[in-house]
Structure 1
Amino acid sequence: MSIKPVTALALVAGLSVALAGCATLQRGPVGNPDVPEPARSVDLHRYSGLWYEIGRYENGFEKGCEGVTARYTLREDGLVGVLNTCRQDSVDGEARTAEGKARVVEDSGNAKLKVSFFGPFYFGDYWVLDRAEDYSWSIVGEPSGRYLWLLSREPNPSAEVRETLLRRVAELGYDTSLVRPVAQPPA
């Protein structure tokens, strides 16, 4: 049985609309209507490794997630491997993982990536808006201002580091009252 070109086109169009609808359902409020360009370039070798999510704008795909981590690896094909892990409802909750891949946006100094967890059909923006000089923390967002993540190399960074991150988030134009702290297990 073969699929006629018109049927195939309708199927692809329908899938695209369905994926766009799913993405729309997961949107939160706009926490920054004027998202800035990333502040500096990113050395992907130094950015690779394990990051702990210590704060975020709440979103549908991380509902109830605590103990969230992201592991980035450089792949032989030039892409960046992404493995996100969430513990459902508590730091001791059941682990859920999502594996994806990212490609660097040309002429972005490696600070903008297109990330996909859904195969070749959907790529979302991932912008490293700022980072510590020593890569001990980073602030990640995207152009709509609806998503924001505060990442640290330590699961429980000091109060000083947390304050630095929140201050920098505010300087970038984000509403800090929308930042939801993320619990991490004790070190």
Structure 2
Amino acid sequence: MRAVGLLLGLCLTLLLGGCAGSMNDPLAPKTAGQVDLKRYQGKWYELARLPMRYQAGCEQSEAHYNLRPDGSFGLLNRCRTLGDEWLRAEGRAYIEAPGHTDRLWVEFDNWFTRLVPGVARGEYWILYVDERYRTAVVGSPDRKYLWILSRTPSLPAWEREHLLAKARQQGYDTSRLIWRASDQQIVKMH
């Protein structure tokens, strides 16, 4: 039952964080500008995130984005727990407003979104993506959520620090980040 609750929470994490007026808020974080969604698609490892109860117990998370012909993303989030169980949440991401490929709405497929379509969605703002599309910093405009992402499960210390600096420049509290556990750490915890 705990696994079902965790998965449901993971699905709702971004959904309830949205705020329709944030795009025009002068205090909102600055986003990356035009993002090439074809290059952004694929697998991203979550290296770090701000604490949220919906991802409590998740030691390794990853997101898979698959660009669809209509310009939206099919989305699969996976999370490995301390019990060595993989939880999944599927959904979609789509552009908030034409011409702003760095600002997406995310909506997961669950009982609530099927009951009330379009209401439970969250803002997914790409704050930074490197020119090779190998690392990214993503957050919500209210600064409650932040993710440091990479195409690989680990990065050198200098590159992590570079991404942390990008997040701090946007006003995110990086001192509270939860870092990805390695496969070896998970094995040792058993």
TM-score by length of 2: 0.75
Which ranges of structure 2 fall in alignment gaps of 5 or more residues?
1-11, 18-26, 185-190
Q: How large is the RMSD of aligned CA atoms in angstroms?
A: 2.0
1:115 alignment counterpart:
106
- The aligned amino acid for 2:82 is D
Deviating above 3 A after TM superposition, structure 1's stretches of 4 or more consecutive aligned residues are: none
Contact preservation (8 Å) 1:68, 1:184:
no
- The aligned amino acid for 1:168 is K
1:105 paired to 2:96: yes
- TM-superposed CA distance for 1:77, in Å, is 3.5
- TM-superposed CA distance for 1:104, in Å, is 0.7
- TM-superposed CA distance for 1:51, in Å, is 0.3
Deviations 1:69-112 (A, max 9, x none): 0000012343211100000126xx10000001011122453001
- TM-superposed CA distance for 1:181, in Å, is 0.9
- TM-superposed CA distance for 1:173, in Å, is 1.5
Farther-moved stretch of structure 1 (79-88 vs 104-113): 104-113
Larger Rg: 1
TM-score by length of 1: 0.76
1:13 alignment counterpart:
none
1:142 alignment counterpart:
140
- TM-superposed CA distance for 1:48, in Å, is 0.2
2:155 alignment counterpart:
157
Between the aligned partners of 1:143 and 1:183, the Cα distance in structure 2 is 26
1:96 alignment counterpart:
87
User: CA 1:170 to 1:125, structure 2 compared with 1: closer, same or farther past 3 Å?
Assistant: same
User: CA 1:99 to 1:163, structure 2 compared with 1: closer, same or farther past 3 Å?
Assistant: same
Farther-moved stretch of structure 1 (139-148 vs 169-178): 169-178
Which ranges of structure 1 fall in alignment gaps of 5 or more residues?
1-18, 25-33
Contact preservation (8 Å) 1:155, 1:185:
no
